Chains A and B, each alone.
Chain A
Amino acid sequence: MLRSALNRLIGMAIVMFLVVTIVFVIVRVTPGDPAAVMLGPDATAEDIASLRERLGLNAPIPVQFLTYFGGILRGDFGQSIFLNIPVTHALWLRAEPTFFLTVFALAIAAAVALPVGVLSAYWRGSAFDQAATMLAMFAASIPSFWLGLIFMQIFAVQLGWFDTSGYGGPGASFAERMHHLVLPAVTLGLISSALITRFTRAAMLDVLNDDYVRTARSKGMSEWRVVVRHAFKNALIPILTVIGLTAALLISGAIVTETVFGLPGVGSLIVSAVLRRDYPVIQGALLVVAGLYVLVNFVIDMLYLLVDPRVRY
């Protein structure tokens, strides 16, 4: 297992180096100038050139890359051009809403998808199965910004249960801040539940027809025990995979939802950084998201080893 983990870690390092390089290059070749955005519409060309020089944007690209890469190795992601604070600090300030949004959305997705997927497979072909499959397809097809606006319209505008946007004002308590996450979490959770439902159903269908399930039944075991203790446990590997990938997707997929609900999370930070061409923030945020993605995959791989001893890398 240790060897497998080591192999995986080496692979992760290579992937992260490629991510750093590709993100740096894409950000630099994208047109747009942070200095022009920062100085406003009436800034002169001389002002823009002067600010570019001060921000170090006029140095040759390879020099900028080496400086940036050296900084990363020291844990320094650079300084936000617009916020004038270290990128790591900017990301840390945005971590709370994104973390809890991801956790809540994943919890909602799993709470909806796992029972629906299992029952759908168990009652294959029934009205419940057909309805669940149809709803899952529908949920997978809905853009998150649209569903978010619909929820906003119903629960914030008409019923007044929530604020339409934001994350609480000065001095907002933890509970108040979490209250602002309810609508975005339900939005993201319901959409994410579609994929998990379909994978759960498919994985359960595979195992429900296996010999050991038939054997368990023939031994007079209760259906609940057969389905949950035997079938579901063995179907867990693909389900864990998709839940893990969903978690990683949620971190990056929260971009649209955070923007719609005005949440000051990592997703909205990425959007605003792209619009302002805040290069260090774009690079740092994408690096963190990619890192989390890689990390989640690593954890899933390790979980495979624990859940199924037959798995070897």
Chain B
Amino acid sequence: MKHYALAFATSIVALMSANGSALAQTAGGVIDVATIGEPPTLDPMASTADLVGIITQHIYETLYTFGADWTVTPLLAADMPTISEDGLTYTIPLRTGVTFHDGSEMTSADVVASLDRWMRIASRGKQTAEVIDGIAATDEATVTITLKSPYAPLLSLLSLNNAAAIIIPEENADQDPLESYVGTGPYRLEERVPDQYIQLVRFEDYASRDGEPNGYGGARLQHLDEIRFVPVPDPNTRIEGAVAGQFAYVDQLPVEAYDRIAGGATEPVVLAPFGWPVFVMNTQEGLNSDLRIRKAIQAALAPEDMMLAAFGSEDFFSIDGAWYPDSYAWHTEVATEPYKPMGDTETAMALLAEAGYDGSPLRILTSRQYEYHYKMAQVAQAYLEAAGFKVQMDVVEWATLTQNRADPALWDIYITHSPFLPEPSLMGIMSDSSPGWWATDAKHAAVEAFNAESDPAKRVELFADVQKVIYEEVPAYKVGNFNALAAQAPNLEGVAPAPWPYFWNAYLGDE
């Protein structure tokens, strides 16, 4: 309990300092941020990896971003778009006087070229391109996006920082892979030495929005001279670095290191809740193409024991069948009855008998890249076997998993996780082509209604229908909510706990 209290206090202090007193600080200072590794690219359009988004969100900016309450807020756009009555035309006013790191001024031509590139190479852009009829520059400072059908997730997709719709100079938009790392962000790339550091320095001509910081949006303050992202792939080394105080911020630490970090030179920061671990079902082929089998799995699993094995203490997870926790507008308890904290073996056995299960092995594809995936799989195996399943654990390393999950012949369940995404449409299972290949009429009806509705309040209600279909058709099993642990130097202020930590509002205070 003391852990939770301390973590809560840490988070609150950080949040308050991020939003309240940053303006009063003087500029200066260099911080080292320990990350989980070297990003595969510095082109956030080309990758959906969180690490790419964390680093490059300081270099590039998008038209929109997410505010502290996870609502969409303008960034390079001057304001929220004007949406036509039929929901098909988005007129986006652009800010003027925004300069790129190469000194050129951003215009609508850059925006159109960048969004074209996004639709051409970014996975989220390609997905969006299917509903986009055209993007045009109305004038120097206005862009119009025309849709084939109403598509409410558009602004969220334009806001996300991975597979991101970043705005780059028009002359760089043909580059694939990107070679000129020129954006409009508060920090520009000074030097990248792979596996050693990525050095970002303050962009002196940065045009910040007016007002106060608001999550990823609002004013972006440039107190720090430099931000250096240092890859430290070994988690034990990250822990030692945090304890020794070598870094101003250390990202993604194993939660079991909480006490050790609390006794060291940096302070633990808990982001609660951070995200969900998910068992994705292969609905296309094999055992799990039978809905009754998937329902039997849903009944058999005991999330409380699985999360306890994975995260060690209730300070770091919560049992929650709702796909979004109650701190999100999307939270709803609708249809969560099948989610039983300790499982329901008898129901699972009955469903299995009804399905005529023939004893074929249920193949769980997992990895030890994230140890908690593996621990959850082990507990799941015990409960599934208790219900009558024969379970085959296919434990591979992450690169193999990412390859094998694309082949429906190779697995029945694969385990993954995600931070809570601000827009439900970004969830993997919402796409028919995502591994799992969930594509049913009931899904399409619920998701299409959800995507077509532009009124935020009505969308919240419609998400309940989506969650209901998820529970009825079990394309995936959300195990619970888990927290993330990071560490922060006592004199580093202005950093709000966030799934993709950012440092443009950070400053160095007194020890």
Contact = CB atoms under 8 A, between A and B. Distances in A.
Interface in B377-407: 396-400, 402-404, 406
Contact of A156 (B47, B163, B240, B398): B240
Contact of B37 (A46, A261, A272): A272
B403 A40 contact: no
B433 interface: yes
Interface in A245-261: 259-261
Give the dominant DSSP class at B's interface.
mixed
Interface in B213-247: 228, 230-234, 236-237, 240-241, 243-244, 246
A276 B123 contact: no
B230 A41 contact: no
Contacts of A149: 236-237, 240
Contact of B228 (A48, A170, A268): A170
A30 B246 CA distance: 37
Contact of A40 (B48, B234, B246): B48
A275 B241 contact: no
Interface string B64-95: 00000000000000000000000000000000
A157 B40 contact: no
A39 B233 contact: no
Interface stretch (A160-168, A224-232, A296-304): A160-168
Nearest to B244: A157
B55 to A, nearest CB: 13
Interface string B122-149: 0110110000000000000000000000
Nearest to B127: A44
A33 B402 contact: yes
Contacts of A60: none
Contacts of A44: 123, 126-127, 431, 433-434
B193 interface: yes
A262 B231 contact: yes
Interface in A161-183: 163-167, 169-170
A42 B428 contact: yes
A84 interface: yes
28 contacts: A33-B399, A34-B399, A36-B406, A39-B48, A39-B123, A40-B50, A41-B416, A42-B162, A43-B123, A44-B434, A48-B406, A84-B177, A94-B195, A149-B240, A153-B240, A157-B243, A157-B264, A163-B241, A164-B244, A165-B241, A165-B246, A166-B230, A166-B232, A167-B196, A170-B228, A260-B237, A269-B195, A275-B397
A83 interface: yes
Contacts of B426: 42
Nearest to B241: A164
A156 B402 contact: no
A62 interface: no
Given A44-B433, A93-B194, A264-B193, A164 B237 contact: yes
A169 B48 CA distance: 28
Interface of B: 32, 37-38, 40-41, 46-50, 52, 123-124, 126-127, 162-163, 177, 179, 190-191, 193-197, 199, 228, 230-234, 236-237, 240-241, 243-244, 246, 264, 396-400, 402-404, 406, 416, 418, 426, 428, 431, 433-435
Contact of A32 (B231, B403, B434): B403
A93 B192 CA distance: 12
A288 interface: no
Interface in A21-43: 30-34, 36-43
Given A153-B240, A157-B244, A43 B233 contact: no
A34 to B, nearest CB: 8
A31 B194 contact: no
A32 B244 contact: no
A160 to B, nearest CB: 7
A42 B123 contact: yes
